[in-house]
């Protein structure tokens, strides 16, 4: 169950949240955000309220202020213990006081006490923060304004007193008493191509003729019922850049804020190479807690998280290289492993794992991820097979710092690739376990396909390792660059690298330039990339680069209030206080001493309601399924056509019951050119749609998407396909026709079947190439070994049979 955020109270009663206004300024790949929440105490008693605000793990919060009845109160960042003492002291004296801090269990949730809010008082709470924006695979920069804060599951027997434990009331979406207004301004020297969102937007307005500046807004009256995602696409996103920011006035030289700071971004051009066959140990850790039974998103007919997870696991299993080792763990309140220890990847072990995946359920209770991680890390390493850990979870775990510490402690023996499933997944957990182990993180929300992101990450894990990563500087005499960012040890293809460094010494008084070089080794070759930049620092009143640099250092050292080693605590505290960026050991405190009224009795408490989200999604999903099963049944007639696109309305029945035993392809009269194969449990009934080319295209794409998954499910571990009825059904043809078209009796039927499968993928599935690329590579390698000189002849016959035009050259490399 997901819930919203807002001003809460100790007795779980509502405080009237009137509206939320957010101003986002995106410059290149950095976002500066100012979020203001307007509240009013409409009761006749004084309140102590509690404000809960989810935020991305990478956000550097540097300002908190309250506007109370027209008076601005700017908070001061203090040692957390001192801030708590000052807050309690102020409240006891009848002052109005405000306390903002990170939740003790997770770095992506912030908590604020608003003490002594008088009857009729109005308060506007403003947070300001900056963050780097992640780069998506398609080149989009992704900004997310979090709205969904999932209840986090505590480890058994441990109570934390966390704000995450608060239970907020729910109400229908149309009855929510608050709305969200959000304006986003975007600027880039490369030009802005387009902006997309999961929420309705106003038309984008260009502010400059050269399209280097633009503005968009959320549609009026938007309810804050979901995470708001903005995707920004620039004309050129892979250009390296360097920015130098002026120091903060009146700060001591050689301090973090007292010297210029430089931010360097590189996009290494790492060529795509065939996936490595040197193997590894691949362990997949899948969340099977009860929350995985909910839909991935609020999109109509969105897959359940557990069903998408099962499909993803099978695709991953089919994509592994022969000779590697693997295992699958499911976790909840307890955990289960498919095998006592990782096993070698063979046809037999793959089939056994696939059979178990098909019957997986989200039935393991809570979300205790620490125990299975410890079990995995205690396992004996397999010589020559480095451990690659893939973690899939909706992130609903409270004690994230214990998990991050465990992953970091074992970072020399593995890499962790993490996936946050659905809105509200903990960015603190997902991003941190990847960062501390040298892996990557992905979030699956909205229309994202878990399958595509997981397969793309598996492909990254199989790429050749980039080694000996270093950064060097060519600076004027008497000037030195001191690195602030942690050492970069791993680079993946398509990854953006960001470095921060402090410039110390004598800055040139006149216009001057410098050079920075990124060096690394790939497949034995030394590669160097460089960029020249101006040494004239620019002034920024928000000191964005300094604060992002401080956040980078804090993330490296700060492991939470309880888990951070004593030797690191002092550094984190000092950096946090100097930069104004919050950490686990600091809190913002503000006191309004003009209000000094005795409190009459105990302060009472109120809470913001949240919209009903999950139950509506489930209802929508169920009703859509009913319509799909009942529509246009009378128009169904058997229909077989060579080259037709085979599909299933849903995959769960087919996966749980195995491939269909009978060919019973049927088509709807409104879309006669789309032929679909039914699941084994009964005939497929497609939902009747108005006849239009758009609907035909949508349905055809859905058929092709599911046909691709079915085809992959049929592949053998060695990369080949068997020539049988199941393959014929996916290809949309009759088995006897396939056999009759066999081009050479001396060629093994499996070679003919495998070539047909590869040609079909290239003909029908290029939009989803990332999901079948690895299985196709295995197939081509197998074909080269078993087809030999007959390859061109077989490919030509396959093209003729499937009415395709795939270039035979792809089978030669």
The rounded distance, in Å, linking the Cα atoms of 306 and 283 is 18
Buried b (16+ CB within 10 A) or exposed e, 692-723: eeeebeebbebbbbbbbbbbbbbbbbbbbbeb
User: φ, ψ for residue 690 (rounded to 5)?
Assistant: -60, 140
The whole model's pTM is what? 0.79
Burial of 355 from C-beta contacts in 10 A (0-12 / 13-18 / 19+): exposed
In this predicted structure, the answer to whether residue 407 has a pLDDT above a threshold of 60 is yes
Contacts for 698-701 with beta carbons within 8 Å, 24 or more apart?
Answer: 699/671, 699/674, 700/645, 700/673, 700/674, 701/767
- The answer to whether 8-237+585-597 and 247-266+464-536 have equal CATH topology is yes
Residue 498 is predicted with a pLDDT of 92
Report how far residue 460's alpha carbon sits from residue 559's, in angstroms, rounded to the nearest whole number.
Answer: 28
Counts of helices then strands in the chain (DSSP H, E): 17, 35
CA dihedral angle for residue 543, residue 549, residue 554, residue 555, rounded to 10 degrees: 120
Q: Sorting pLDDT into bands at 50, 70 and 90, what band is 574?
A: very high
- Beta carbons of 444 and 450 less than 8 angstroms apart: yes
Q: What are the pLDDT digits (tens) for 743-752?
A: 988 899 999 9
Residues whose CB falls within 8 Å of the CB of residue 607, separated by 6 or more in sequence, listed in order = 6, 7, 8, 9, 12, 13, 14, 15, 50, 166, 168, 169
How sure is the predictor about 106, in pLDDT bands with cuts at 50, 70 and 90?
confident
* Residue predicted with more confidence, 289 or 267: 289
- 247-266+464-536 is a CATH 2.60.40.420 domain: no
pLDDT at 209 over 80: yes
User: Which CATH topology does 281-462 take?
Assistant: Rossmann fold (3.40.50)
Lowest-confidence segment of 219-233, 639-653, 780-794 by average pLDDT: 639-653
Do residues 644 and 706 make contact, with C-beta atoms less than 8 angstroms apart? no
pLDDT for the residue 635: 34
Tens of pLDDT, residue by residue over 700-730, are 455 566 789 899 999 999 999 999 999 999 9
Q: What's the full length of the chain, in residues?
A: 813
Q: Which of 53, 51, 14, 62 is nearest to 147 (CA)?
A: 53
Q: What is the pLDDT of residue 218?
A: 92
Parallel/antiparallel/unpaired status of strands 387-393 and 281-287:
parallel
The domain ranges of the chain are: 8-237+585-597, 247-266+464-536, 281-462, 709-811
Domain 8-237+585-597 sits in CATH at 2.60.40
Q: Give the list of residues 6+ apart from residue 208 with CB closer than 8 angstroms, or none.
A: none
Q: In the chain, what percentage of residues exceed pLDDT 70? A: 79
């Amino acid at each position: 169950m997901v819930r919203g955020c807002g001003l809460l109270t100790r007795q779980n009663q509502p405080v009237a949240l009137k509206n939320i206004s957010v101003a986002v300024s995106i410059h290149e790949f950095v976002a500066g955000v100012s979020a203001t929440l307007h509240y009013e105490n409409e009761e006749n008693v004084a309140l102590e309220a509690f404000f809960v605000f989810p935020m991305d793990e990478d956000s550097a919060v540097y300002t908190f202020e309250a506007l109370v009845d027209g008076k601005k109160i700017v908070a001061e960042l203090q040692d957390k213990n001192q801030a708590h003492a000052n807050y309690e002291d102020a409240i006891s004296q009848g002052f109005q006081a405000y306390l903002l801090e990170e939740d003790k269990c997770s770095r992506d949730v912030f908590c604020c006490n608003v003490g002594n809010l008088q009857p009729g008082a109005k308060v506007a709470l403003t947070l300001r923060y900056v963050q780097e924006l992640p780069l998506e695979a398609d080149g989009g920069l992704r900004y997310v304004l979090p709205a969904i804060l999932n209840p986090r599951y505590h480890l058994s027997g441990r109570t934390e007193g966390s704000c995450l434990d608060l239970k907020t009331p729910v109400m229908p979406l149309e009855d929510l008493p608050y709305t969200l207004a959000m304006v986003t301004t975007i600027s880039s020297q490369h030009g802005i191509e387009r902006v997309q969102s999961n929420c309705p937007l106003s038309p984008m307005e260009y502010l400059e003729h050269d399209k280097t500046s633009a503005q968009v807004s959320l549609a009026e009256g938007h309810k804050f019922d979901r995470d708001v995602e903005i995707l920004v696409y620039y004309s050129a996103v892979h250009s390296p850049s360097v920015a130098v920011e002026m120091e903060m006035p009146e700060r001591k030289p050689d301090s973090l804020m007292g010297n210029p700071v430089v931010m360097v971004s590189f996009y290494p051009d790492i060529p795509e190479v065939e996936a490595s066959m040197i193997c590894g140990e691949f362990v997949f850790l899948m969340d099977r807690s009860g929350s995985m039974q909910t839909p991935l998103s609020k999109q109509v007919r969105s897959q359940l998280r557990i069903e998408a997870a099962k499909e993803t696991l099978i695709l991953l299993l089919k994509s592994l290289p022969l000779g590697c080792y693997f295992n699958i763990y499911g976790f909840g309140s307890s955990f289960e492993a498919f095998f006592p220890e990782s096993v070698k990847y063979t046809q037999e072990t793959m089939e056994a794992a696939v059979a178990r995946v098909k019957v997986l359920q989200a039935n393991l209770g809570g979300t205790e991820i620490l125990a299975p991680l410890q079990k995995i890390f205690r396992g004996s390493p397999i010589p020559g097979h480095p451990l690659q850990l893939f973690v899939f979870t909706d992130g609903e775990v409270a004690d994230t710092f214990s998990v991050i510490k465990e992953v970091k402690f074992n970072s020399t023996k593995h890499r962790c690739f993490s996936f946050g499933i659905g809105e509200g997944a903990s960015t603190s957990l997902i991003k941190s376990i990847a960062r501390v182990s040298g892996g990557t993180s992905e979030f699956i929300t909205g229309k994202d396909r878990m399958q595509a992101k997981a397969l793309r990450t598996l492909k990254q894990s199989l790429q050749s390792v980039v080694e000996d990563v270093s950064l060097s500087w060519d600076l004027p005499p008497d000037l030195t660059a001191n690195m602030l960012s942690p050492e970069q040890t791993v680079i993946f293809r398509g990854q953006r690298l960001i470095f921060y460094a402090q410039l110390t010494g004598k800055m040139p008084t006149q216009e001057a330039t410098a050079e920075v070089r990124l060096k690394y080794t790939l497949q034995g070759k030394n590669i160097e990339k460089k960029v020249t930049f101006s040494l004239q620092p620019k002034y920024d009143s928000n000191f964005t680069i300094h604060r992002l640099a401080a956040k980078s250092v804090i993330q490296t050292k700060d492991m939470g209030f309880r888990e951070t080693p004593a030797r690191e605590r002092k550094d984190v505290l000092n950096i946090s206080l100097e930069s104004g960026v919050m950490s686990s050991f600091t809190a913002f405190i503000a006191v309004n001493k003009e209000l000094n009224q005795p409190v009459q009795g105990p302060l009472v408490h109120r809470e913001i309601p949240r919209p009903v989200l999950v139950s509506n999604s489930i209802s929508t999903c169920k009703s859509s399924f009913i319509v799909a099963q009942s529509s246009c049944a009378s128009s169904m007639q058997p229909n077989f056509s060579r080259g037709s696109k085979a599909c299933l309305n849903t995959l769960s029945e087919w996966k749980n019951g195995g491939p269909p035993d009978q060919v019973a392809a049927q088509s709807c009269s409104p879309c006669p050119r789309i032929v679909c194969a039914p699941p084994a449990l009964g005939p497929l009934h497609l939902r009747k749609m108005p006849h239009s080319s758009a609907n035909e295209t949508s349905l055809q794409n859905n058929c092709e998407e599911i046909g691709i998954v079915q085809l992959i499910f049929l592949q053998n571990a060695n990369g080949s396909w068997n020539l049988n009825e199941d393959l014929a059904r996916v290809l949309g043809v009759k088995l006897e026709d396939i056999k009759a078209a066999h081009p050479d009796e001396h060629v093994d039927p499996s070679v003919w079947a495998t070539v047909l499968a590869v040609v079909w993928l290239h003909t029908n599935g290029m939009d989803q190439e990332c999901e079948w690329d690895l299985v196709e590579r295995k197939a081509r390698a197998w074909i080269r070994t078993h087809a030999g000189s007959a390859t061109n002849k077989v490919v030509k016959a396959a093209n003729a049979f499937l009415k395709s035009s795939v270039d035979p050259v792809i089978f030669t490399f």
